[in-house]
Amino acid sequence: MSIIIDKERGKKVAELLYDSFSTTGIHGRTDMPEDITPNRVVRGSLDHILFLTLTVSIDYQRDAPSLWESSRRTFDDPETRYLFDPKLLHETPLRKIIEDMQKYKLSKKTKKDAYIWRTIGITFYKKWEGDPCKFLKNCNWDSSLILNRLRNDTHLYNGRLVPDYPYLRGPKIGPLWLRMLRDNVGITHLRNLEEVPIPVDIHIARATLTTGVVRGQFKGKLGELFKYIREAWFESVKGLSIKNRPMIALDVDEPLWHLSKYGCSNRDKTTGYCPLLNRCEAREFCIKGKVKIENRIVELET
Protein backbone atom coordinates (compact mmCIF):
# COMPACT_ATOMS: atom_id res chain seq x y z
CA MET A 1 0.00 0.00 0.00
CA SER A 2 1.26 3.46 -0.95
CA ILE A 3 -1.11 6.26 0.08
CA ILE A 4 -0.59 10.02 -0.21
CA ILE A 5 -2.67 12.70 1.52
CA ASP A 6 -2.46 15.94 -0.48
CA LYS A 7 -3.75 18.59 1.93
CA GLU A 8 -2.87 21.50 -0.37
CA ARG A 9 -5.03 19.95 -3.09
CA GLY A 10 -7.62 19.28 -0.39
CA LYS A 11 -7.73 22.97 0.56
CA LYS A 12 -8.51 23.95 -3.01
CA VAL A 13 -11.13 21.21 -3.37
CA ALA A 14 -12.75 22.15 -0.05
CA GLU A 15 -13.02 25.83 -0.97
CA LEU A 16 -14.31 25.12 -4.46
CA LEU A 17 -16.92 22.55 -3.43
CA TYR A 18 -18.17 24.52 -0.42
CA ASP A 19 -18.56 27.71 -2.49
CA SER A 20 -20.31 25.81 -5.31
CA PHE A 21 -22.69 23.98 -2.98
CA SER A 22 -23.55 27.23 -1.17
CA THR A 23 -24.37 29.10 -4.38
CA THR A 24 -25.17 27.43 -7.70
CA GLY A 25 -25.01 23.87 -6.39
CA ILE A 26 -23.07 20.77 -7.34
CA HIS A 27 -24.48 19.06 -10.42
CA GLY A 28 -27.40 21.46 -10.00
CA ARG A 29 -28.24 20.46 -6.43
CA THR A 30 -28.03 22.41 -3.19
CA ASP A 31 -30.20 20.24 -0.94
CA MET A 32 -29.78 16.99 1.00
CA PRO A 33 -32.34 14.17 1.33
CA GLU A 34 -32.86 14.97 5.02
CA ASP A 35 -33.61 18.66 4.38
CA ILE A 36 -37.32 18.10 3.70
CA THR A 37 -39.34 17.86 6.91
CA PRO A 38 -42.53 15.84 7.30
CA ASN A 39 -45.81 17.73 6.89
CA ARG A 40 -46.53 20.33 9.58
CA VAL A 41 -43.26 19.65 11.41
CA VAL A 42 -41.54 22.82 12.55
CA ARG A 43 -37.78 23.01 11.98
CA GLY A 44 -35.98 22.73 15.31
CA SER A 45 -38.95 21.27 17.19
CA LEU A 46 -38.76 18.10 19.27
CA ASP A 47 -40.69 16.27 16.55
CA HIS A 48 -38.07 17.38 14.02
CA ILE A 49 -35.19 16.28 16.25
CA LEU A 50 -36.74 12.84 16.84
CA PHE A 51 -37.50 12.45 13.11
CA LEU A 52 -33.86 13.16 12.20
CA THR A 53 -32.35 11.19 15.09
CA LEU A 54 -34.28 7.98 14.55
CA THR A 55 -34.04 8.07 10.76
CA VAL A 56 -30.29 8.68 10.65
CA SER A 57 -29.77 5.78 13.06
CA ILE A 58 -30.64 3.34 10.25
CA ASP A 59 -28.82 5.28 7.51
CA TYR A 60 -26.37 2.50 6.69
CA GLN A 61 -26.08 0.67 3.36
CA ARG A 62 -29.13 2.62 2.18
CA ASP A 63 -30.03 4.91 -0.68
CA ALA A 64 -30.45 8.14 1.25
CA PRO A 65 -33.22 9.78 -0.83
CA SER A 66 -35.44 6.69 -0.59
CA LEU A 67 -34.74 6.25 3.14
CA TRP A 68 -35.75 9.81 4.00
CA GLU A 69 -38.79 9.68 1.74
CA SER A 70 -39.92 6.46 3.45
CA SER A 71 -39.40 8.08 6.84
CA ARG A 72 -41.47 11.13 5.93
CA ARG A 73 -44.31 8.93 4.66
CA THR A 74 -44.16 6.91 7.89
CA PHE A 75 -44.27 10.09 9.97
CA ASP A 76 -47.18 11.57 7.99
CA ASP A 77 -49.37 8.46 8.36
CA PRO A 78 -51.41 8.65 11.61
CA GLU A 79 -51.19 4.86 11.97
CA THR A 80 -47.38 4.82 11.97
CA ARG A 81 -46.70 8.25 13.49
CA TYR A 82 -46.17 6.60 16.89
CA LEU A 83 -42.82 5.24 15.65
CA PHE A 84 -41.34 8.70 16.29
CA ASP A 85 -42.59 8.93 19.88
CA PRO A 86 -40.15 7.42 22.44
CA LYS A 87 -42.91 6.77 25.00
CA LEU A 88 -45.06 4.91 22.48
CA LEU A 89 -42.04 2.94 21.21
CA HIS A 90 -41.51 1.79 24.79
CA GLU A 91 -45.13 0.67 25.04
CA THR A 92 -45.30 -1.11 21.66
CA PRO A 93 -44.20 -4.74 21.12
CA LEU A 94 -41.19 -5.20 18.87
CA ARG A 95 -43.18 -7.39 16.45
CA LYS A 96 -45.61 -4.52 15.72
CA ILE A 97 -42.72 -2.08 15.24
CA ILE A 98 -41.15 -4.55 12.80
CA GLU A 99 -44.44 -4.76 10.90
CA ASP A 100 -45.15 -1.02 10.81
CA MET A 101 -41.62 -0.08 9.73
CA GLN A 102 -42.24 -2.13 6.61
CA LYS A 103 -45.41 -0.28 5.56
CA TYR A 104 -43.48 2.39 3.61
CA LYS A 105 -40.21 0.44 3.37
CA LEU A 106 -38.66 2.40 6.22
CA SER A 107 -36.78 -0.70 7.30
CA LYS A 108 -34.56 -2.63 4.92
CA LYS A 109 -33.18 -5.19 7.35
CA THR A 110 -36.50 -5.69 9.08
CA LYS A 111 -35.56 -7.09 12.49
CA LYS A 112 -32.22 -5.31 12.80
CA ASP A 113 -33.56 -1.88 11.84
CA ALA A 114 -36.54 -2.24 14.18
CA TYR A 115 -34.24 -3.23 17.06
CA ILE A 116 -31.96 -0.22 16.42
CA TRP A 117 -34.93 2.14 16.15
CA ARG A 118 -36.78 0.86 19.21
CA THR A 119 -33.66 0.66 21.39
CA ILE A 120 -32.68 4.27 20.70
CA GLY A 121 -36.24 5.47 21.22
CA ILE A 122 -36.51 3.64 24.55
CA THR A 123 -33.12 4.99 25.66
CA PHE A 124 -34.33 8.55 25.11
CA TYR A 125 -37.62 7.74 26.88
CA LYS A 126 -36.12 6.07 29.95
CA LYS A 127 -32.99 8.19 30.41
CA TRP A 128 -33.83 11.58 28.84
CA GLU A 129 -37.63 12.01 29.15
CA GLY A 130 -38.03 11.46 25.41
CA ASP A 131 -35.88 14.46 24.49
CA PRO A 132 -32.46 14.03 22.81
CA CYS A 133 -31.59 17.61 23.75
CA LYS A 134 -31.52 16.60 27.41
CA PHE A 135 -28.80 14.08 26.53
CA LEU A 136 -26.89 16.78 24.61
CA LYS A 137 -27.20 19.20 27.54
CA ASN A 138 -26.00 16.49 29.94
CA CYS A 139 -22.91 16.26 27.71
CA ASN A 140 -22.51 20.05 28.09
CA TRP A 141 -23.13 20.33 24.32
CA ASP A 142 -19.56 19.07 23.84
CA SER A 143 -19.34 17.22 20.51
CA SER A 144 -16.39 15.07 21.57
CA LEU A 145 -18.13 14.02 24.77
CA ILE A 146 -21.39 13.37 22.87
CA LEU A 147 -19.59 10.98 20.50
CA ASN A 148 -17.84 9.32 23.43
CA ARG A 149 -21.12 8.82 25.29
CA LEU A 150 -22.83 7.50 22.15
CA ARG A 151 -20.08 4.88 21.86
CA ASN A 152 -19.93 3.89 25.51
CA ASP A 153 -23.28 4.38 27.29
CA THR A 154 -24.98 1.05 27.98
CA HIS A 155 -27.93 -0.52 29.80
CA LEU A 156 -28.72 -3.96 31.16
CA TYR A 157 -30.82 -6.16 28.89
CA ASN A 158 -31.52 -9.82 29.62
CA GLY A 159 -28.64 -9.89 32.06
CA ARG A 160 -26.02 -8.32 29.79
CA LEU A 161 -24.84 -4.83 28.96
CA VAL A 162 -25.89 -3.59 25.53
CA PRO A 163 -25.34 -0.21 23.81
CA ASP A 164 -27.84 2.59 24.46
CA TYR A 165 -27.47 3.92 20.93
CA PRO A 166 -26.86 1.10 18.43
CA TYR A 167 -25.59 2.42 15.08
CA LEU A 168 -26.12 6.04 16.17
CA ARG A 169 -22.85 5.39 18.01
CA GLY A 170 -21.02 4.44 14.80
CA PRO A 171 -18.06 6.32 13.26
CA LYS A 172 -20.19 7.49 10.32
CA ILE A 173 -23.63 8.00 11.84
CA GLY A 174 -22.54 9.73 15.07
CA PRO A 175 -20.77 12.59 13.27
CA LEU A 176 -23.54 12.70 10.67
CA TRP A 177 -26.12 13.19 13.44
CA LEU A 178 -24.12 16.08 14.89
CA ARG A 179 -23.94 17.74 11.47
CA MET A 180 -27.71 17.39 11.07
CA LEU A 181 -28.31 18.85 14.53
CA ARG A 182 -26.25 21.86 13.49
CA ASP A 183 -27.42 22.29 9.90
CA ASN A 184 -30.99 20.98 9.92
CA VAL A 185 -32.18 21.53 13.48
CA GLY A 186 -30.24 24.76 13.92
CA ILE A 187 -28.49 23.95 17.20
CA THR A 188 -25.76 26.58 17.23
CA HIS A 189 -24.22 25.91 20.64
CA LEU A 190 -22.64 22.52 19.95
CA ARG A 191 -19.01 22.89 21.01
CA ASN A 192 -15.79 21.40 19.59
CA LEU A 193 -17.32 20.48 16.25
CA GLU A 194 -13.87 21.00 14.74
CA GLU A 195 -12.84 17.77 16.48
CA VAL A 196 -15.60 15.73 14.80
CA PRO A 197 -14.36 13.61 11.88
CA ILE A 198 -16.09 13.75 8.52
CA PRO A 199 -18.72 10.95 8.37
CA VAL A 200 -17.14 8.69 5.76
CA ASP A 201 -19.36 6.55 3.56
CA ILE A 202 -18.88 5.27 0.03
CA HIS A 203 -19.70 8.69 -1.46
CA ILE A 204 -17.29 10.66 0.72
CA ALA A 205 -14.64 8.03 0.00
CA ARG A 206 -15.20 8.05 -3.76
CA ALA A 207 -15.16 11.85 -4.03
CA THR A 208 -11.99 12.06 -1.94
CA LEU A 209 -10.25 9.49 -4.15
CA THR A 210 -11.44 10.81 -7.51
CA THR A 211 -10.33 14.37 -6.67
CA GLY A 212 -6.90 13.04 -5.75
CA VAL A 213 -6.94 14.40 -2.20
CA VAL A 214 -6.11 10.85 -1.16
CA ARG A 215 -4.32 8.93 -3.88
CA GLY A 216 -1.75 6.23 -4.54
CA GLN A 217 -1.67 2.46 -4.97
CA PHE A 218 -4.01 0.30 -2.94
CA LYS A 219 -6.11 -2.84 -3.17
CA GLY A 220 -8.17 -3.95 -0.19
CA LYS A 221 -11.17 -3.19 1.99
CA LEU A 222 -12.71 0.25 1.63
CA GLY A 223 -12.74 0.67 5.41
CA GLU A 224 -8.94 0.54 5.51
CA LEU A 225 -8.84 3.90 3.71
CA PHE A 226 -11.28 5.65 6.04
CA LYS A 227 -8.58 6.82 8.48
CA TYR A 228 -6.68 8.47 5.61
CA ILE A 229 -9.85 10.16 4.36
CA ARG A 230 -10.71 11.50 7.83
CA GLU A 231 -7.17 12.79 8.29
CA ALA A 232 -7.19 14.34 4.82
CA TRP A 233 -10.20 16.54 5.56
CA PHE A 234 -9.11 17.37 9.11
CA GLU A 235 -5.87 18.72 7.64
CA SER A 236 -7.22 20.23 4.42
CA VAL A 237 -9.67 22.64 6.06
CA LYS A 238 -7.14 24.08 8.53
CA GLY A 239 -6.65 27.79 7.89
CA LEU A 240 -9.78 28.14 5.74
CA SER A 241 -12.65 30.39 6.76
CA ILE A 242 -16.36 30.53 5.91
CA LYS A 243 -19.09 32.82 7.23
CA ASN A 244 -16.64 34.54 9.60
CA ARG A 245 -15.61 31.30 11.28
CA PRO A 246 -13.00 28.59 10.67
CA MET A 247 -14.03 25.87 8.22
CA ILE A 248 -14.25 22.38 9.75
CA ALA A 249 -14.28 18.91 8.22
CA LEU A 250 -18.08 18.59 8.61
CA ASP A 251 -18.50 21.55 6.24
CA VAL A 252 -17.35 19.53 3.23
CA ASP A 253 -19.51 16.48 3.97
CA GLU A 254 -22.53 17.58 1.92
CA PRO A 255 -20.55 18.94 -1.06
CA LEU A 256 -18.46 15.75 -1.32
CA TRP A 257 -21.57 13.56 -1.04
CA HIS A 258 -23.19 15.42 -3.96
CA LEU A 259 -20.04 15.32 -6.06
CA SER A 260 -19.91 11.54 -5.78
CA LYS A 261 -23.59 10.62 -5.94
CA TYR A 262 -24.46 12.80 -8.93
CA GLY A 263 -21.03 12.98 -10.55
CA CYS A 264 -18.17 10.61 -9.72
CA SER A 265 -20.52 7.62 -9.57
CA ASN A 266 -20.73 7.91 -13.38
CA ARG A 267 -16.95 7.77 -13.85
CA ASP A 268 -15.48 4.69 -15.51
CA LYS A 269 -13.92 2.71 -12.67
CA THR A 270 -10.91 1.55 -14.67
CA THR A 271 -10.07 4.30 -17.17
CA GLY A 272 -11.20 7.26 -15.09
CA TYR A 273 -13.26 8.66 -17.97
CA CYS A 274 -16.24 10.65 -16.72
CA PRO A 275 -19.06 11.62 -19.12
CA LEU A 276 -19.97 14.56 -16.87
CA LEU A 277 -16.46 16.02 -16.73
CA ASN A 278 -17.12 19.11 -18.86
CA ARG A 279 -19.90 20.35 -16.59
CA CYS A 280 -18.49 19.19 -13.25
CA GLU A 281 -17.62 21.88 -10.74
CA ALA A 282 -14.51 19.93 -9.68
CA ARG A 283 -13.32 18.96 -13.17
CA GLU A 284 -9.87 20.54 -12.71
CA PHE A 285 -9.22 18.13 -9.82
CA CYS A 286 -10.53 14.95 -11.46
CA ILE A 287 -7.55 12.63 -11.21
CA LYS A 288 -6.56 10.15 -13.89
CA GLY A 289 -6.33 6.45 -13.18
CA LYS A 290 -8.33 3.64 -11.60
CA VAL A 291 -10.73 4.28 -8.74
CA LYS A 292 -12.77 1.10 -8.49
CA ILE A 293 -15.07 0.48 -5.52
CA GLU A 294 -17.18 -2.67 -5.63
CA ASN A 295 -18.60 -4.72 -2.76
CA ARG A 296 -16.62 -2.60 -0.28
CA ILE A 297 -13.34 -3.50 -2.03
CA VAL A 298 -11.16 -0.74 -3.48
CA GLU A 299 -8.68 -0.87 -6.32
CA LEU A 300 -6.77 2.40 -6.47
CA GLU A 301 -4.13 3.32 -9.05
CA THR A 302 -3.81 7.11 -9.11
Question: Domain with 219 in it: what CATH number?
Answer: 1.10.1670
Same domain, 214 and 255: yes
- What range does the domain containing 16 cover? 2-30+194-301
Q: Which of 150, 185, 220 is the last residue of a domain?
A: 185
Q: Is residue 213 within 8 Å of 9, Cβ to Cβ? A: yes
Low-confidence ranges of the chain (pLDDT < 50): none
56 exposure class (CB count in 10 Å sphere: 0-12, 13-18, 19+): buried
Q: Which of 122, 156, 185 is the last residue of a domain?
A: 185
| Single pTM value for the model | 0.95
Q: What is the pLDDT of residue 157?
A: 86
Q: What is the pLDDT of residue 1?
A: 79
Q: Is residue 56 within 8 Å of 132, Cβ to Cβ? A: no
Query: What gap in Å lies between CA 253 and CA 179, rounded to an integer?
Result: 9
Query: What gap in Å lies between CA 229 and CA 233, rounded to an integer?
Result: 7
Task: Summarize pLDDT for 26-60 with one digit per residue, the tens.
Answer: 999 999 999 999 999 999 999 999 999 999 999 99
Q: What is the pLDDT of residue 154?
A: 96
Query: What gap in Å lies between CA 47 and CA 39, rounded to an integer?
Result: 11
Q: What is the pLDDT of residue 158?
A: 86
Query: What gap in Å lies between CA 82 and CA 75, rounded to an integer?
Result: 8
In a domain, 38, yes or no: no
Collect all residues with Cβ–Cβ distance below 8 Å to 244 and sequence separation of at least 6. none
Q: Which of 185, 211, 243 is the last residue of a domain?
A: 185
Task: Report the candidate in 150, 142, 187, 157 with the shortest Cα–Cα distance to residue 172.
Answer: 150
Which DSSP category does 183 fall into?
A: I
In a domain, 198, yes or no: yes
